[in-house]
A and B are shown apart, each in its own frame.
Chain A
Amino acid sequence: MPQLSTAVEVGAPLLNEIISRLDEERRWVVLDLGPARGATIERLGQLRCRLDIADLPARLPELEKVEDPEQRVSLLGADFPPARGEPADLVLCWTLINYLDQQTLPLLAKSLANRCRPNASIHALVEYQATHMPVRPRPVTIAAGNQISYPQDMARQIQAPRYSPRELGRLMPGLGIERTMLLGNGMQEFLFRV
């Protein structure tokens, strides 16, 4: 019997704050590690913005089969669109971090640090309350009213790593944790700084 999937909307104050600070006076480069979502494009389209979409969740099945760290770095970076001389000002990780193990997170941090402008910001959502999460990252999008939205898919669940700020600080060298905030949906917002 098919599972019903309903949308969940929750406020994400750190994401809202950082996007509201993207002024119209200059050009911004945003790197989105999730799949392309219409609402996110529409919101960032109100700005002078280049949005690079990497869709790393689509690579996860392939990444999980690779043990060699160098191959993993190569795979992680393979879907980054060419920087074309413009480093990223903001990276949107959405829930991707929950799906990367302790060996892969440092590689991601390294790839992002190389791709970003100094002092760039990296936003992520980390499961802190739920012991289980969907088997693949949910497509999160920016919703109206300063919220984020994603489908609540309960079909298949895997154990959530529930990374703590201390763990992520250790596993993502080169990125400083600037702020965190607990959300009402059992996730924690992280704002890293390159």
Chain B
Amino acid sequence: MFKRESTDNTPGRRETASQPDHAASQRAAGAAATSAVIGASIEIDGNLRGEEDLIIEGKVNGTVELKNNSVTIGTQGKVTADIHAHTIFVEGRMEGSLVAAERIVIRKSADIKGAITSPRVSLEDGARFNGSIDMDPETEALKKAFGGQTRQTPKPVDSSRSDNSAGKPAAGLSEAMGSKS
């Protein structure tokens, strides 16, 4: 059902070289790992679990759980699923929820409707997205999915920010701004 292939970064190394997007998928999947590939003609309904990187170029409906690995939805991929992975790259169509312990990368060819949860999210302009992006490293969805596995690197602090509202309970921003004309 799956192809297994090297995902080094050398263009043309992948066996499915006839697929026009393979170089992008290889970049996304990262170097020197062995990835499973769901080819463009494959359709899967159900739950996927495993311990290796995965590239999806076909259709997947259900759940994908690769908590220690990366998942790439390639440009031909059409996924309606909840995905939990260490890192997720999206180049194709996705509907559902994406939860990544490390980061989620959305390429400009992506078309996503759903909820994204990860402490780091990057998006190339031109990508279509409708939904929520939860970048709070302390959010419940991350804790529930990964427990203590998520990376808790402090986020950069804006040095121009004033420190007059730390520790306050939830309040309106207008109150925090403290001025009204």
The chain A residues found within 8 Å of chain B, CB to CB, are 17-18, 20-27, 35-38, 41-42, 44-55, 58, 79, 81-82, 84, 89-90, 117-121, 139, 141, 178-180, 191, 193-194
Task: Answer yes or no: B156 CB below 8 A from chain A CBs.
Answer: yes
| Cross-chain contact of B135 among A44, A55, A120 (Cβ < 8 A) | A44
CA gap between A42 and B123 in the complex, in Å: 8
| Cross-chain contact of A41 among B121, B156, B171 (Cβ < 8 A) | B121
Query: In the complex where A20-B160, A24-B157, A37-B125 touch, is A51 in contact with B173 (Cβ < 8 A)?
Result: no
CA gap between A55 and B111 in the complex, in Å: 13
The residues of B that contact A18 with a CB separation of less than 8 Å are 173, 177
The residues of A that contact B181 with a CB separation of less than 8 Å are 178-180
The chain B residues found within 8 Å of chain A, CB to CB, are 106, 115, 120-125, 127-139, 155-158, 160-163, 165-177, 179-181
A20 touches B122 (CB 8 A): no
Query: In the complex where A21-B161, A37-B125 touch, is A193 in contact with B131 (Cβ < 8 A)?
Result: no
The residues of B that contact A36 with a CB separation of less than 8 Å are 106, 123, 127-129
B130 touches A55 (CB 8 A): yes
Name 22 A/B residue pairs within 8 A (Cβ), A-sorted: A18-B173, A20-B161, A25-B165, A27-B138, A35-B128, A38-B123, A41-B122, A41-B123, A42-B122, A44-B135, A45-B120, A51-B134, A53-B131, A55-B128, A84-B132, A90-B173, A119-B171, A121-B177, A141-B125, A178-B174, A193-B172, A194-B172
CA gap between A38 and B168 in the complex, in Å: 30
